[in-house]
């Protein structure tokens, strides 16, 4: 079962409660979790959640559930949504590689370092569980303002283009990413035997993502990011839609 790490004070602030630490920790298992670890000095907490509760795989999701459980906020929270004018084209070339993709745009976000870490942890927990270690689902989170729509999801020969992967300084071909980058070595088996590799490109042919391996450094999310583009690729249409939601 996935283990979620967070600071208890952060959780209580998000929930909006002044309950004693002990009382909060005693109640969390009641919504589908097992207590794992708690440091009384630093308030760092680890909770193991059941695989059928991906909505609890982040401190924000847990806080949302606890606000209802503690009778602080009733009912499901609603979010304003509308169709985007941003186009994500799907090229037929991906059909035999990784056939499905969905995307979303989030505008006006405010992310500090804790928020970015929480977002990345949620992403990896979803990869591990619902995504079956990225075989079924892979998620990319991007700074939308660093690229130019429309986007295209297509499959290309392994040596046909280069980009700088996330957390790297040197451009690599897709084939080189699989050999030289840590994530490439970890997940290259998912593309084994494929003559073409999937990529998401913008209008300028800049690489946003090489799913299910790694994002491009160009769209790295920082505390300055205001608008996000999220892509979810995979092998099952219903599953990637559920993960995006």
* Domain positions in the chain: 3-69, 88-244
Tell whether the model's pLDDT for residue 1 goes beyond 80: no
Q: Which residue in 172, 168, 236, 180 sits closest to 199, CA to CA?
A: 172
Query: For the domain with range 88-244, which CATH number is right: 3.40.50.720, 3.40.50.880, 3.50.40.10, 3.30.465.10?
Result: 3.50.40.10
Model confidence at 222, pLDDT cuts 50, 70, 90, reads very high
pLDDT in tens, 51-98: 888 989 999 999 999 999 999 987 777 778 888 899 999 999 999 999
Residue 116 has a pLDDT of 96
Looking at every residue in the chain, the average pLDDT score rounds to 95
pLDDT at 67: 93
Residue 49 binned pLDDT confidence (cut-offs 50, 70, 90): confident
Res 5: pLDDT = 92
Please name which of 228, 23, 211, 194 lies closest in space to residue 106, comparing C-alpha atoms: 228
pTM of the model: 0.90
What pLDDT is recorded for position 80?
82
Residues 239, 235: Cα–Cα separation, whole Å: 8
Q: Summarize pLDDT for 94-152 with one digit per residue, the tens.
A: 999 999 999 999 999 999 999 999 999 999 999 999 999 999 999 999 999 999 999 99
% pLDDT > 90, the chain: 87
Q: Rounded to an integer, what distance in angstroms lies between the CA atom of residue 148 and that of residue 204?
A: 7
> Distance between CA atoms of 211 and 178, rounded to whole angstroms?
12
Query: From 3.30.930.10, 3.40.1440.10, 3.30.56.10, 3.40.250.10, which CATH number describes the 3-69 domain?
Result: 3.30.56.10
């Amino acid at each position: 079962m996935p283990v979620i790490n967070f600071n208890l004070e952060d959780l209580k602030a998000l929930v909006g409660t002044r309950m004693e630490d002990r009382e909060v920790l005693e109640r969390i298992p009641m919504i589908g979790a097992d207590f794992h670890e708690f440091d009384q000095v630093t308030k760092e907490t680890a909770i193991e959640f059941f695989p059928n509760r991906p909505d609890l795989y982040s401190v924000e999701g847990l806080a949302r559930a606890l606000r209802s459980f503690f009778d602080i906020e009733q009912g499901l929270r609603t979010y304003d949504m509308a169709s985007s004018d941003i186009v994500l084209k799907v090229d037929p070339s991906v059909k035999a590689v990784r056939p499905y993709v969905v995307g979303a745009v989030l505008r006006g976000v405010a992310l500090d370092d804790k928020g970015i870490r929480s977002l990345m942890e949620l992403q990896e927990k979803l990869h591990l569980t619902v995504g079956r270690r990225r075989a079924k689902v892979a998620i990319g989170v991007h700074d939308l303002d660093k690229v130019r729509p429309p986007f295209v999801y297509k499959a290309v020969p392994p040596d046909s283009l280069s980009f700088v992967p996330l957390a790297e300084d040197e451009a690599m071909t897709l084939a080189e990413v699989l050999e030289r980058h840590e994530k490439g070595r970890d997940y290259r088996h998912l593309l084994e035997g494929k003559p073409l590799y999937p990529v998401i490109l913008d209008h300028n042919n800049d690489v946003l993502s090489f799913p299910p391996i790694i994002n491009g450094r160009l769209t790295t999310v920082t505390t300055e990011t205001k608008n996000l583009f999220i892509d979810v690729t995979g092998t099952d249409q219903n599953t990637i839609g559920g993960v995006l939601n």
